[in-house]
Amino acid sequence: MTRTRPRQGRPRHTPPSDPNASGREQILDAAGALFVEHGISATSTRMIAERVGIRQASLYYHFATKDEILAELLATSVRPSLEMVERIQALVPERASAAAALYAVAATDVRTLSRTPYNIGTLYLLPEVLTERFDAFRADRGRLQQSYGALGASAAADGVTGSIPPERIGELLIQLVEVVIQIRRTRDPDPADTDAIASSCLRLCGLGETAIATARDEARVLLTGLA
Amino acid sequence: MTRTRPRQGRPRHTPPSDPNASGREQILDAAGALFVEHGISATSTRMIAERVGIRQASLYYHFATKDEILAELLATSVRPSLEMVERIQALVPERASAAAALYAVAATDVRTLSRTPYNIGTLYLLPEVLTERFDAFRADRGRLQQSYGALGASAAADGVTGSIPPERIGELLIQLVEVVIQIRRTRDPDPADTDAIASSCLRLCGLGETAIATARDEARVLLTGLA
């Protein structure tokens, strides 16, 4: 049985042996596996080409450098969340409460990180990713963190905003959501994890259980409308 | 001016150029810098020896393998917290509330991670650290996570324990504390960070601001008594 797949809108995770994957997708997949398994420095474009079963010249047709491949992989771990965050933030406060928006953003981000090929988020702490070659990725991640800070500070109880400035709330919230990277090292995240993480974000902002339940319901309606 | 330093009880962070550091300390320091800068695979015992300015043979007098050096570095990021956690947990519930104990454990762990040489916690996500060669470190970290889970579940409000099992609370709390590894990449953590992180752990467990203020005061007395 053959499946056809539209050329635009490639899926976020291409299984390694998918015969329908494009050359570009196969390269990203092979590179993801190698980066996560061996690290960035120890992975060469030659190794990536060999794993796909193509010549290095063919790889260069799609990507000029190894860094370009890594940059695209890193982008898959943050871009889908960032796009959704912008749409969600635009609804606050008229059509959505800050608490519901924060729940929706956290749940979206958990799902994005749950789907990255080979749990690519494990590369976040690598020294190579700190260099200016990956400024675009770090700028994206910085914008995501700012959104967490802004929504968190709007949603938060006075006792919290009085003691923690918004940028630090953003640091704490993005860190909390990234627990899914750690979870994936030992098990597949499930919907209970998504709710536990998103509701923990609201608790961290000082919200009580009744307010959290309201925000959860509102966020689900919101996400259904945006899907 | 020369400082004398007692041989027992070596400090947690040896500055790179400290002339009083023992051979063993100098090796750990050089290795920490190289592991964090270049990754684990790309660092050899030869590079470590060269950085210290000793022969490889002298390095082998102190450590049999590169992995043994890394294992000791990883231990410095978790052992001091684990020792303190055991002392704190022994006081619950007779002499300390679970909430105060959780605050004290989180604050201790933040301090341990704030002091590791070269922010060694950035190595936690590396694929090499996942292998069985570092089982001892991962067992230590697992015990720390279990303690977070146990204290968190005891301290938590019913609404939280009803929806998140203790082992998942432990996952969330240890992740939250490890934000200090991310913070150190851009700035030095300060006492306000320690309080923000420790009090966020209690908020994540559903505690309100009054209960957090009480736990904070109790934890400070507790930590002074144990110091």
Interface size between A and B, measured as CB pairs under 8 A: 108
| Residue A205 near residue B200 (C-beta atoms within 8 A) | no
Mean pLDDT, residues A51-77: 95
pLDDT(A151) > 60: yes
Chain A closest-CA separation from residue B105 CA (Å)? 18
Contacts of A182 (CB under 8 A, 6+ apart): B171, B175
Q: Report the topology of domain B77-226.
A: Tetracycline Repressor; domain 2 (1.10.357)
Contacts of B175 in chain A (CB under 8 A): 175-176, 178-179, 182
Name the residue among B135, B150, B179 with its Cα closest to residue B85. Answer: B150
B77-226 and B23-73 share a CATH fold: no
Asked if omega into A11 is within 30° of 0 (cis), the reply is no
Residue of B nearest to A41 (CA): B42
Residue B14 — left, alpha, or beta (φ > 0 → left; ψ -120 to 50 → alpha)? beta
pLDDT(A134) > 80: yes
pLDDT confidence of residue A26: 94
Mean pLDDT, residues A29-53: 92
Preferred mutation among A158, A203, A210, A216 to probe B, highest tally of B CBs within 10 A: A203
Mean pLDDT, residues B220-226: 95
pLDDT confidence bin for A9, thresholds 50/70/90: very low
| Residue A101 near residue A91 (C-beta atoms within 8 A) | yes
pLDDT confidence bin for A13, thresholds 50/70/90: very low
Mean pLDDT, residues B88-104: 96
Task: Tell if the CB–CB gap between A196 and B39 is shorter than 8 Å.
Answer: no
- What is the number of alpha carbons within 13 Å of residue B103 lying toward its C-beta? 23
* Architecture, CATH, for domain A23-73: Orthogonal Bundle (1.10)
Asked if omega into B93 is within 30° of 0 (cis), the reply is yes
pLDDT confidence of residue B39: 82
Mean pLDDT, residues B100-116: 97
pLDDT confidence of residue B18: 60
Amino acid code (one letter) for B174: I
Least confident of A42-46, A132-136, B83-87, B127-131: B127-131
Mean pLDDT, residues B121-137: 87
Mean pLDDT, residues B179-190: 94
Domain ranges of chain A: 23-73, 77-226
Mean pLDDT, residues A124-141: 88
